[in-house]
Structure 1
């Protein structure tokens, strides 16, 4: 078996999941490999060496895995952004558009303090809708997003351009063409 040297080498593609025509980029194979997982966390952090972060925000659900590891390495707090109805306590919500319909994400209303520096982390950047909703939640609480870090970018879906149009610094580890 050839040695895996790039993040892409650890990511499995599942054809026609969750429905026909989709090439699902599965990061669970990356997470399962200790070397690959470590490489991903290190590379997500690399452009932010020397930057102080107060919190890392992870988007549900694979962003929790990455975000927790990144927060640990930064000695920063971790904050989950979850689907509606999953967080106990007082929350604020943000609606966003899906390919077919709408969704809502939430954050605890006391999770970010005004002026805190935040890194947003997730596994995949597709259309950017979920990330944009997460950014809006953090900003509504007074946090400042310093960067947005993702393992995979699907550039054909326009997420990077969407976030960059919001003046966000976007860092990705690899790209896959298509859907």
Structure 2
């Protein structure tokens, strides 16, 4: 049984970053504290052990940090979702809209196990745009996303609407800026 802790105590809040009026929730402070980082991985293991998850796909870059130890402990493949131009060889790509711009992500389609269930993971879930594009890439590669996981969620930004009908699970939520 994992030790209970208040994850909020380990999340740095940075006002006015990246612009005035925004409160930034910084998970790097979780990574700097082994007790908190271990708690996150242990919590993920508690949630997903025994579930029908065939692989985990993580979004660059902080999502990798949570997904890698989880994948090793679960004994499942880790699939990387990266910014355009970062993966060698043949990729599948997806453009999507950000608040003030457009971005593009890529995945190695051959890394996605056909017809399997892929847990989609990121460190923080805000508007859900990157996760939605990632889910579409995984589906295009021939797999399904039964659930989306984030260490931290900002439900006041309506990510559940953007990610519906896929269930979303987080370890901690902040309900307002």
TM-score normalised by length of structure 1: 0.92
Decide whether the 8 Å contact of 2:59 with 2:121 is kept in 1.
yes
Q: Measure, in 2, the Cα distance between the counterparts of 1:154 and 1:8.
A: 13
Pairwise CA distance, 1:135: 0.4
Note the residue ranges of structure 1 that are not aligned, 5 or more in a row: none
Note the residue ranges of structure 2 that are not aligned, 5 or more in a row: none
Q: Measure, in 2, the Cα distance between the counterparts of 1:32 and 1:89.
A: 34
Pairwise CA distance, 1:174: 0.7
CA deviation vs aligned residue, 1:98-157 (integer Å, no higher than 9, x gap): 000110010012110211221111111111000000100000011121221101111111
Structure 1 residue aligned with 2:43:
43
Structure 1 residue aligned with 2:159:
159
Q: Measure, in 2, the Cα distance between the counterparts of 1:97 and 1:46.
A: 34
Decide whether the 8 Å contact of 2:87 with 2:106 is kept in 1.
yes
TM-score normalised by length of structure 2: 0.93
Q: Measure, in 1, the Cα distance between the counterparts of 2:16 and 2:35.
A: 28
Pairwise CA distance, 1:48: 2.0
Q: Measure, in 2, the Cα distance between the counterparts of 1:127 and 1:45.
A: 25
Aligned pairs, number:
174
Q: How does 1:109-148 map to 2 (within 5 A)?
A: 109-148=109-148
Q: Measure, in 1, the Cα distance between the counterparts of 2:120 and 2:113.
A: 15
Decide whether the 8 Å contact of 2:87 with 2:107 is kept in 1.
yes
Decide whether the 8 Å contact of 1:114 with 1:142 is kept in 2.
yes
Please report the RMSD computed on the Cα atoms of aligned residues, expressed in angstroms.
Answer: 1.4
Structure 1 residue runs of 4+, over 6 Å off? none
Pairwise CA distance, 1:176: 1.4
Structure 1 residue aligned with 2:174:
176
